[in-house]
C-alpha cells in the first residue's frame, strides 16, 4: 500500500496581519503541528512524500473566473491596509502577500495527489494544505478559502484522466457551499456534505445547506446535504450517517475516485464545530470509504482549529490510508435522536433519486424513540463555562486515546495465513506471515475426540495452525488471519475456534457464518457471542445474539444487508474478534466476500479471522488475503435493486432488532410517498445503471 503525503512548507507563510477574531483560528501552526505529529508517530516516514507544486492559471481556470484569478494575483503587491480592505469584501476571509502563492500550492497539492493516485504511483493519499478550499466559489473567496482545491482536483480528474464519476465527501463541519454551487447541476460529481446547521443559525446561514437542496437539473440527487441541528454529534452519529445514508448512495453511484474534503473541525474540541467525535472516528470513516473506487481515496485538508484534535485526527486518517486497522471506537454507540432525524430527512429528500433508498423505509420502526443522555454532553454555549468544560473533556478524550494506543499498539504482523502451502504461495502478498501450528499433542487429541470431523490428519493439522493463529490475534501479535480447512471440518473447526477464543478470554466474539453451518448447540446465549447465519429461507432473530438471514440475491440487496444489518450489529457489539466463516455452499461471489471482510475490519479493530474450506478457489483466497491486509476490495459490479423478498427479510429483522441494536435504528417515520414493495423491485434495470459516462 502506498500512501502519498503532499505538502510544501511555503503554505505556512500566509497569516492574519490585523485583528479579526473570526479569522484568527486559521494559522500556520495548523500545518506545522499536524505534520510534526505525523512525524512523531512515524507515519510520515511510511508515506510517499511529495512536494506540492503550484497549480497553473489554466488549472485554476477549471473552476475560477479569469477576473477572480487576476484579482488574487494582484494581492501579492498590496499593502496591509489594501489587503484588509479587499478581505472585507468577502465573508470570513483574510489575504496576505503570500496568499496567492499558498493558495496555488494548495490547489496544486490536490492535483499532484490525484495524479499520483490515478497514475498508480500511490494507492491513496492526503494533501496537507492551507488555505482550505471548500467555501471558495467561481469568483469569490469565503470562509478562509481562496481557491477550491477539491473542486479543481475533481475537474482535473475528469478532464486529464477521463473519469466519469467522482465522489466528494465533505466531512468538514461547515457546509462547502462553494463545492455545492460548482457541481450542483453536474451528475458526474456526487457531493456529500454534513454540517453544523442548527436550523440555519450557523455560518454560512444558507437555506441551500438544508436537506432539501438536492442539486439542479440533470444534477438532481447528486448533491446530498446532511444538516446537523444540534452540536455534540459523536462517533455513533457519524458512523450512522455513513451506514444509513452516504454509503448506500456511494455504492450505487460507484465512483472511480473518492475525494475527501477533510476538515477536522468536525472532531472533538474544535471551537467551530463543538462536536464530540474522537480522532479514531476518522480512521473508521476513511476505512469505510476505502471500500469504494478500488480504494482510490484522496483526502485534502480543509478546516480543523483545535491543534491537538486536528493533529490526532490527521494521524488517524493517514493510518487508515496506510492500511492499519482502525482502533475500536470509544463511547456508547447510540446515535442521538436529532442525528437520526437529520439522517432520515435526507433519506426522504433523496429517495426519489436513488434505488438504494427506496423500499427500505416503508416499514415503520416500532421502537419508541429514545433519547440517550448517558455520556453525551448537552448542547454547549460558546464562551460560557460549558466551553471550558468541553475543552477539558476534549483533552481528556485525547489523552485517553493516546493511552489506549500505547496500551494496545498495532500488532507487528498485519495478516497471517494458515493455508495449504501450495495455493498460498501463488496468490498472496509477500509480506504475509505463514502460520506454523505446533501445539501439544494432547490438546489436539482432545479436540479430535470431541469432533469426528477432526479425526482426519489434514483436519487436525489445519486446526493446530488455526488455533495458533487465533492466539496470535488474541495476544495482539497479529491483526487478522485467513485459514483453510477441509470442507467436512469447517463446522467443527469453527466450534473449536469459538470455544478456544472464549476460554482465552475473548469478551465478545462475532461469528458471521455463511452457508451450511449450524450454530453450535451448546453455545450459551450470554452475550459473549453474537451469531449471524447467512443462509436458509427465513430471516429470524431468535435472540438479539442469534440472527439468521437468507443471502440476498442482488448487489443492492447484498449492500443493504451489509450496511443496514451486519455493520450496525458489529458497531453495536464491538467485538474483540470477528470469525467470518465461508462454509460449504456459501454462495458468496468473490467481490461480495471481499467487501464483507474489508468492511468488518473497521468495527473489529482489524481483528478478523476468515475461515474457508480448502477447496475454495485461489481467487477467493487471494482476494480475502488482500483485503484483510488492508487492500481495497474489487467492485461488486453494476447495481441491481434488492428483490422484494430480500427487502422484506431485512425490514423484518430490523424491526425486531432495532430496539436492542441502536446502530440499526432510523427514527419512527410517517412516510407515505415511498414505493410500494414489489413495484419494480427485484428487476435489474440496466438502463439506470451507470457503466460509463453520466447516466441521467
Residues that bind ligand X5A (CB under 6 A): 22, 92, 132, 135, 143-145, 172, 174, 203, 263, 265, 302-303
Query: Which residue reads 445514508 in cell numbers?
Result: 245
Binding residue (CB under 5 A) for Zn ion from 303, 437, 481, 690: 303
User: Which residue lies nearer to ligand X5A by CB, 135 or 156?
Assistant: 135
In degrees and rounded to multiples of 5, residue 299 shows phi and psi of -100, 135
Contact partner at residue 92 from ligand X5A, Zn ion, none, CB < 5 to 8 Å by partner kind: ligand X5A
User: Which residue lies nearer to Zn ion by CB, 275 or 641?
Assistant: 275
Element (H, E) at 49: strand 48-51
Known catalytic membership, residue 135: yes
Using the rule CB under 5 A, give the single segment among 64-72, 225-233, 265-273, 599-607 that binds Zn ion.
Answer: 265-273
Per-residue contact track with Zn ion, 172 to 191, x per CB under 5 A?
x-x-----------------
Binding residue (CB under 5 A) for Zn ion from 256, 265, 361, 576: 265
Any contact of residue 170 with Zn ion (CB under 5 A)?
no
- Reduce the DSSP state of residue 81 to 3 states and report it: helix
- Reduce the DSSP state of residue 400 to 3 states and report it: helix
Q: How far from the centroid of its chain's Cα atoms is residue 207's Cα?
A: 28
Strand partners, 258: 167, 297
User: Which residue lies nearer to ligand X5A by CB, 174 or 284?
Assistant: 174
In degrees and rounded to multiples of 5, residue 18 shows phi and psi of -140, 180
Query: Of the residues 64, 123, 135, 586, which is catalytic?
Result: 135
Any contact of residue 263 with Zn ion (CB under 5 A)?
yes
User: Which residue lies nearer to Zn ion by CB, 110 or 552?
Assistant: 110
Angle (CA) 655-657-661 rounded to 5° is: 125
User: Which residue lies nearer to ligand X5A by CB, 113 or 416?
Assistant: 113
C-alpha R_g of the chain: 25
Minimum distance of ligand X5A from residue 176's CB (angstroms)? 8
- Reduce the DSSP state of residue 177 to 3 states and report it: helix
Sign of the dihedral through C-alpha 100, 267, 337, 384: negative
What is the C-alpha separation between 545 and 532, in angstroms, rounded? Answer: 8
User: Which residue lies nearer to ligand X5A by CB, 172 or 237?
Assistant: 172
What is the C-alpha separation between 322 and 660, in angstroms, rounded? Answer: 35
Contact partner at residue 203 from ligand X5A, Zn ion, none, CB < 5 to 8 Å by partner kind: ligand X5A
C-alpha cell at 694: 453520466
Any contact of residue 270 with Zn ion (CB under 5 A)?
no
Q: How many CA atoms lie within 13 A of 401 on its CB side?
A: 26
Preceding amide of 262 cis, omega within 30: no
User: Which residue lies nearer to Zn ion by CB, 304 or 515?
Assistant: 304
Minimum distance of ligand X5A from residue 463's CB (angstroms)? 54
Minimum distance of Zn ion from residue 229's CB (angstroms)? 17
Minimum distance of ligand X5A from residue 203's CB (angstroms)? 4
* 628-to-284, 323, 539 alpha-carbon distances in Å: 15, 9, 28
Q: How many CA atoms lie within 13 A of 393 on its CB side?
A: 23
* 526-to-33, 80, 351, 388 alpha-carbon distances in Å: 46, 69, 39, 42
Minimum distance of Zn ion from residue 92's CB (angstroms)? 10
Q: DSSP alpha helices (H): ranges in 408-543?
A: 421-427, 441-450, 457-474, 490-503
Contact partner at residue 232 from ligand X5A, Zn ion, none, CB < 5 to 8 Å by partner kind: none
Which residues are known to be catalytic? 135
Residues that bind Zn ion (CB under 5 A): 172, 174, 263, 265, 303
Amino acid at each position: 500500500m502506498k500512501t502519498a503525503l503532499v505538502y510544501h512548507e511555503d503554505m505556512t507563510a500566509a497569516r492574519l496581519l490585523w485583528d479579526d477574531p473570526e479569522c484568527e483560528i486559521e494559522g500556520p501552526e495548523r500545518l506545522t503541528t499536524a505534520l510534526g505529529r505525523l512525524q512523531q508517530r512515524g507515519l510520515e516516514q511510511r508515506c510517499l512524500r511529495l512536494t506540492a507544486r503550484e497549480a497553473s492559471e489554466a488549472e485554476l481556470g477549471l473552476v475560477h473566473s479569469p477576473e477572480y484569478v487576476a484579482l488574487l494575483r494582484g494581492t501579492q503587491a498590496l499593502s496591509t491596509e489594501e489587503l484588509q480592505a479587499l478581505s472585507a469584501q468577502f465573508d470570513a476571509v483574510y489575504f496576505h502577500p503570500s496568499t496567492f502563492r499558498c493558495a496555488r500550492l494548495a490547489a496544486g497539492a490536490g492535483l499532484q495527489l490525484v495524479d499520483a493516485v490515478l497514475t498508480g504511483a500511490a494507492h491513496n493519499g492526503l494533501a496537507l494544505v492551507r488555505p482550505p478550499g471548500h467555501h471558495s466559489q467561481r469568483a469569490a473567496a469565503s470562509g478562509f478559502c481562496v481557491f477550491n482545491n477539491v473542486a479543481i482536483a475533481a475537474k482535473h480528474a475528469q478532464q486529464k484522466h477521463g473519469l466519469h464519476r467522482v465522489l466528494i465527501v465533505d466531512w468538514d463541519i461547515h457546509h462547502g457551499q462553494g463545492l455545492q454551487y460548482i457541481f450542483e447541476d453536474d451528475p458526474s460529481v456526487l457531493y456529500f456534505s454534513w454540517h453544523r446547521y442548527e436550523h440555519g443559525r450557523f455560518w454560512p446561514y444558507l437555506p441551500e445547506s438544508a436537506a432539501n437542496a438536492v442539486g439542479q437539473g440533470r444534477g438532481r440527487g447528486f448533491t446530498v446535504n446532511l444538516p446537523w441541528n444540534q452540536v455534540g454529534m459523536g462517533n455513533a452519529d457519524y458512523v450512522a450517517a455513513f451506514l444509513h445514508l452516504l454509503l448506500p448512495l456511494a455504492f450505487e453511484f460507484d465512483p472511480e475516485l473518492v475525494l475527501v474534503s477533510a476538515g477536522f473541525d468536525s472532531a472533538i474540541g474544535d471551537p467551530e464545530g463543538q462536536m464530540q467525535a474522537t480522532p479514531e472516528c476518522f480512521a473508521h470513516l476513511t476505512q469505510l470509504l476505502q471500500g469504494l473506487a478500488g480504494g482510490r481515496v484522496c483526502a485534502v485538508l480543509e478546516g480543523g482549529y483545535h491543534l491537538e484534535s486536528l493533529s490526532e485526527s490527521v494521524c488517524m486518517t493517514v493510518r487508515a490510508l496506510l492500511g492499519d486497522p482502525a482502533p475500536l471506537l470509544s463511547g456508547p454507540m447510540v446515535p442521538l435522536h436529532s442525528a437520526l432525524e437529520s439522517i432520515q430527512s435526507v433519506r426522504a429528500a433523496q429517495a426519489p433519486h436513488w434505488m438504494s433508498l427506496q423500499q427500505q423505509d416503508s416499514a415503520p420502526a416500532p421502537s419508541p424513540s429514545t433519547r440517550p443522555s448517558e455520556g453525551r454532553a448537552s448542547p454547549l454555549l460558546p464562551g460560557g463555562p460549558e466551553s471550558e468544560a468541553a475543552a477539558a473533556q476534549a483533552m481528556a478524550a485525547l489523552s485517553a486515546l493516546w493511552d489506549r494506543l500505547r496500551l494496545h499498539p498495532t500488532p507487528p504482523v498485519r495478516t497471517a495465513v494458515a493455508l495449504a502451502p501450495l495455493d498460498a504461495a501463488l496468490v498472496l502478498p509477500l509480506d504475509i506471515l505463514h502460520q506454523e501450528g505446533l501445539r501439544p499433542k494432547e490438546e489436539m487429541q482432545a479436540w479430535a475426540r470431541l469432533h469426528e470431523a477432526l479425526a482426519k490428519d489434514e483436519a487436525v493439522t489445519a486446526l493446530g495452525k488455526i488455533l495458533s493463529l487465533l492466539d496470535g490475534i488474541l495476544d495482539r501479535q497479529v491483526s487478522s488471519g485467513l485459514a483453510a480447512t477441509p470442507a467436512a471440518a469447517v463446522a467443527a473447526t469453527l466450534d473449536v475456534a469459538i470455544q478456544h477464543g472464549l476460554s482465552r478470554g475473548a469478551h465478545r466474539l462475532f461469528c458471521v457464518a455463511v452457508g451450511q453451518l449450524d450454530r453450535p448447540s451448546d453455545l450459551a446465549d450470554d452475550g459473549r457471542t453474537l451469531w449471524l447465519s447467512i443462509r436458509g429461507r427465513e430471516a429470524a432473530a431468535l435472540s438479539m445474539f442469534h440472527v439468521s438471514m437468507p443471502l440476498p440475491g442482488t448487489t443492492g440487496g447484498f449492500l443493504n444487508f451489509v450496511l443496514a444489518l451486519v455493520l450496525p450489529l458489529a458497531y453495536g457489539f464491538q467485538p474483540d474478534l470477528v470469525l467470518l466463516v465461508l462454509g460449504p455452499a456459501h454462495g458468496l461471489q468473490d467481490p461480495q466476500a471481499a467487501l464483507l471482510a474489508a468492511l468488518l475490519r473497521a468495527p473489529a479493530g482489524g481483528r478478523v479471522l476468515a475461515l474457508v474450506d480448502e477447496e475454495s478457489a485461489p481467487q477467493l483466497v487471494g482476494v480475502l488475503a488482500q483485503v484483510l491486509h488492508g487492500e481495497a476490495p474489487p467492485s461488486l459490479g453494476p447495481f441491481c435493486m434488492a428483490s422484494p423478498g430480500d427487502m422484506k427479510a431485512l425490514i423484518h429483522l430490523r424491526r425486531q432488532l432495532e430496539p436492542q441494536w441502536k446502530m440499526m435504528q432510523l427514527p419512527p417515520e410517517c412516510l407515505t410517498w415511498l414505493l410500494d414493495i414489489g413495484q419494480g423491485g427485484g428487476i435489474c434495470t440496466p438502463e439506470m445503471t451507470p457503466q460509463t459516462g453520466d447516466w441521467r
